[in-house]
Amino acid sequence: PLGLCWALGAAAAAAAAPNILLLLMDDMGWGDLGAFGEPSRETPNLDQMAAEGMLFLDFYTANPLCSPSRAALLTGRLPVRNGFYTTNAHARNAYTPQDVVGGIPDSELLLPELLKKAGYVNKIIGKWHLGHRPQFHPLRHGFDEWFGSPNCHFGPYDNKEHPNIPLYRDWEMIGRYYEDFKIDLKTGEANLTQIYLQEALDFITKQQDSEQPFFLYWAIDATHAPVYASKQFLGTSQRGLYGDAVREIDDSIGKILRHLEQLGISENTFVFFTSDNGAALISAPTQGGSNGPFLCGKETTFEGGMREPAIAWWPGHIPAGGVTHQLGNVMDLFSTSLSLAGLQPPGDRQIDGLDLSPVLLQGKLIDRPIFYYRGNELMAVRAGPYKAHYWTWSNSWEEYGKGIDFCPGQSVPGVTTHTQEEHTHLPLLFHLGRDPGEKFPLSFASEEYQRAVERISGIVQQHRDTLVPGQPQLNVCDKAVMNWSPPGCQKLGKCLKAPESDPQKCSWPH
């Protein structure tokens, strides 16, 4: 009876300030879940999450690459506004390797900073990717706790030219990948997902006893190359190592959701599952996922690069079995979370995120465009079912010649181009309902073309007229800023000697 009273009390409090749990995948594609049509059907827990919640079929990232996507999610703003882009060359994707000098500017307001005003305790588990230098530390931007790494788990490095990436607990590093946190590149074995799972379960358990709601940002990375899975999942998937990683994540998410239910707080916890960008087809088939019927993958502004799997789950609030065509964006998680916490978004800046709570709770549809950027170039815009490409590019002939292919097995003449093609005056137009694979551009002469482009042109004009780009953060690289001596390295004897500072323009070939 005590449990029951407590549960009722928790449910009543839910409307005021639910816990918020964002499950952000890394390089997972739209086509990787059974609920989205993956032919092996190996995600029973995520499929059940969808059946108990709401499936988003038209959900997007703000950028086809990890760092800008994550910066957009946490700021509610396009990378071109929050500074997570480069101007070193035209239309280039940029991120935060460990020699990048920039990171999230102090002027940006992050979701956890704002949630603090409503009493939230905020934790990030996994990949931060918004800058690794001290001023960019997540605990300086609103998070109360951190377990994870600032950069991608690339490596192993040699520690002389290149330090291995550190893992942090809160303010200090506790070890490095490949040294203290093993990833066996030969077998793909690593138990990191199990560690991240345990961190999540422990945090949720701890917070359940507190009076404060929590925000947990679970940003795991097993599906990012080098892909890994724990021993018990290795070899269990029909899809190879990538599938093993997906199965372990699926299993972990099932455990997290059941944990919420067992603690009696599922009706008081808003959960959203999505991914940072499309599947990295360049790493397929063993290290990359699937974008289902969509064109190309990560790094591109075709649907395969930016359409994401997405599921909202909040028993008792979001009706079970819902499927929505609402155009959504990772930036909406910022605005929606604020709204659920009873907070207003900052009024002193442009926010691109949309409050999706009317979609989630009342099944409404809100008309809004989707902007597809590469660097500071607006490559494409979607409005309703129409997508207009102002620029097309997969990658350069030079990179392609090296075997780097963002669209393996796919080739749409004049669309998946290896030179940057401008279509500003006569955009390439696709109807994503009839042609989700962006294979059949509409005839320029058709009335349908005229009507749709006229509408999108107005949207673009307004967007451009009011756009104030932020200071680009991803232009300068310097080996001196790498993770040589993260805080805490002394205790571990893991401090390395940094070279002298030698700032350079970062090279962004894509």
| Residues placed in the known binding site for Ca(2+) | 26-27, 66, 276-277
Q: Are 89 and 111 in contact (CB under 8 A)?
A: no
| Tokens read off for 413 | 């003449």
- Binding site: which residues? 26-27, 66, 276-277
Q: In terms of Cα–Cα distance, which of 211, 200, 223, 206 is closest to 148?
A: 200
Residue 141 annotated in active site = no
Among the listed ranges 138-146, 188-196, 254-262, 410-418, the one in contact with a second copy (CB under 8 A) is: 410-418
Phi, psi of 345 (to 5 degrees): -70, 155
Choosing from 323, 365, 366, 426, the residue that interacts with a second copy (CB under 8 A) is 323
- One-letter amino acid at 449 equals Y
- Closest distance of CB 203 from a second copy, Å: 33
- Note whether 434 binds a second copy by CB under 8 A: yes
| Tokens read off for 117 | 């005003």
| Tokens read off for 485 | 């001596």
| Tokens read off for 112 | 């956890």
- Closest distance of CB 412 from a second copy, Å: 4
Choosing from 187, 238, 262, 461, the residue that interacts with a second copy (CB under 8 A) is 238
Measured from the CB atom, the residue of 18 and 304 that comes closer to a second copy is 304
- Closest distance of CB 235 from a second copy, Å: 12
CA–CA separation, 120 vs 341, rounded Å?
9
Q: Which residues contact 295 (CB under 8 A, 6 or more apart)?
A: 302, 303, 304, 407, 410, 412, 415, 416, 437, 438, 439
Choosing from 90, 206, 364, 439, the residue that interacts with a second copy (CB under 8 A) is 439
- Note whether 286 binds a second copy by CB under 8 A: yes
Interface of this chain with a second copy, residues 469 to 488, rule: CB under 8 A: none
For the chain, report the end-to-end CA distance as a whole number of angstroms: 60
Q: Is the peptide bond before 226 cis (omega within 30 degrees of 0)?
A: yes
Interface of this chain with a second copy, residues 6 to 45, rule: CB under 8 A: 31, 34, 36-41
Measured from the CB atom, the residue of 36 and 273 that comes closer to a second copy is 36
DSSP state, residue 116? G
Residue 129 annotated in active site = yes
- Closest distance of CB 285 from a second copy, Å: 4
CA–CA separation, 251 vs 220, rounded Å?
13
- Note whether 194 binds a second copy by CB under 8 A: no
Choosing from 402, 440, 451, 457, the residue that interacts with a second copy (CB under 8 A) is 440
Choosing from 305, 328, 436, 472, the residue that interacts with a second copy (CB under 8 A) is 436
- Note whether 295 binds a second copy by CB under 8 A: yes
Measured from the CB atom, the residue of 275 and 483 that comes closer to a second copy is 275
- Closest distance of CB 160 from a second copy, Å: 34
- Note whether 112 binds a second copy by CB under 8 A: no
Q: Other C-beta atoms within 10 Å of 271: how many?
A: 25
CA atoms within 13 A on the CB side of 346: 18
Q: Are 74 and 81 in contact (CB under 8 A)?
A: no
Task: List strands edge to edge, sheet with 428-431.
Answer: 370-374, 377-383, 386-389, 428-431
Which positions are annotated as active-site residues?
A: 66, 129
Contact footprint for a second copy (CB under 8 A): 31, 34, 36-41, 57-58, 237-240, 242-243, 284-286, 290, 292-293, 295, 323, 325, 385, 408-412, 431-440
